[in-house]
Amino acid sequence: MRVVFVHGACVQDGPWWWHLIAPLLNQEGVSSVAPGLPSCGEAGQQAGTDGPGLLEDVAAVRELLHDGDEPTIVVAHSYGGIVTSAAAAGIDSVRHLLLISSYLPEVGQSLASFGDGTPAPFLDVDPDTGTFGVRPALLVDTFLQDCGPDIGAQAMTKLARQSLKVTAQPVDAAAWQQVSSTYLVCTQDRGTPAERQREFAGRAGDAFELDAGHHPFLSQPDAVSNLILDLADA
């Protein structure tokens, strides 16, 4: 069994975001990998109007999922749920999806489908460059309020500008309709309110709630790793 982690928007260095739970899984014989997302500038191309978008993110994750036939759990966080919805569709080795504070789109929906047309206050959108990013001053209070100061300081160095085009590009598949899925609602999330998460959780096959902020794998790694191991055993 292996786990493929798909990180959220406006950050880089996929392995870092999961570095507290990957060793816990490895101790139990579960390997893991965290691909980079090209739209966040992780594939050598700069984010922007002419840079990579959702299609390239989907292709990057899908290529990794096709690499081998080992039974796989895909763990998607936030924007990663958009990517995973398309990337994991039709791949036999994918046995389960775990969606953490994640968007869960129907076919034809995009990230913008879940907003009201105005940027969230914690985002900085630059139409001239075709990028958006998290406002550094709001990172910790919005997304990492239940994590230690060291985690907050390290996370600040992982922020990235992302191609704005990913917000409007729709998915052409909904893997959660084909594969068993579990949704983890983070009740103290200040980025994606719990009420919205519960709407997405209603689309998943199963759901759990955790008293945590937007990144429970950094604030409560034992709880998240135990959930993944339970899914692996099942």
pLDDT in single tens digits along all 234 residues of the chain: 999 999 999 999 999 999 999 999 999 999 999 999 999 999 888 999 999 999 999 999 999 999 888 999 999 999 999 999 999 999 999 999 999 999 999 999 999 998 887 889 999 999 999 999 999 999 999 999 999 999 999 999 999 999 999 999 999 999 999 999 999 999 999 999 999 999 999 999 999 999 999 999 999 999 999 999 999 998
Beta strands in 56-201 (DSSP E): 72-77, 94-100, 123-126, 131-134, 162-163, 181-186
pLDDT in the model for residue 167: 95
Cα dist. 151→20, 81, 136, 139, 216 in Å? 11, 23, 14, 11, 12
Residue spans of the domains in the chain: they are 2-233
Q: Would you say 159 and 133 are in contact if contact means Cβ atoms under 8 Å apart?
A: yes
**Does the domain formed by 2-233 have CATH 3.40.50.1820?**
yes
pLDDT in the model for residue 43: 84
With a CB cutoff of 8 Å and minimum separation 6, the contacts of 9 are 40, 78, 79, 111, 162, 166
pLDDT in the model for residue 20: 98
What pTM was estimated for this model as a whole? 0.96
Q: Would you say 32 and 2 are in contact if contact means Cβ atoms under 8 Å apart?
A: yes
